[in-house]
């Protein structure tokens, strides 16, 4: 992955296919999340669709006044060298 591909991008361009990405909210910080088009919190949103962590411990609706404003792909896992036994 190139550095250009790792740059923060507007949340409007984020993938909406369930891909796990890093999202960022200026007031809260960032977290790995994915878009769930069927997620819904009627206390803060009038429409379905929610950003959520894999364990659903953190969620953001797009129209709750908060939520991510930027996103970027997650970096690939580090390559580790295996030692010979």
The model's pLDDT over 25-62, given as tens digits with 9 standing for 90+, comes to 888 888 999 999 988 777 777 778 889 999 988 888 77
Residue 80 lies in a domain: no
What domain range is 60 assigned to?
18-73
Domain count, the chain: 1
Residue 45 lies in a domain: yes
Residue 64 lies in a domain: yes
**What pLDDT sits at residue 18?**
93
Tally of CA atoms within 13 A in the half-sphere of 32 that contains its CB: 8
């Amino acid at each position: 992955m190139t550095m250009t591909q790792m740059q923060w991008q507007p949340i409007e361009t984020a993938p909406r296919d369930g891909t796990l990405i890093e999202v960022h909210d200026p007031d809260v910080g960032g977290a790995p999340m994915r878009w769930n088009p069927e997620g819904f919190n009627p206390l803060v949103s009038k429409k379905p669709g929610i950003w959520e962590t894999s364990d659903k411990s953190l969620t953001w609706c797009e129209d709750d006044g908060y939520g991510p404003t930027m996103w970027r792909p997650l970096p690939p896992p580090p390559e580790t060298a295996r030692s010979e036994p």
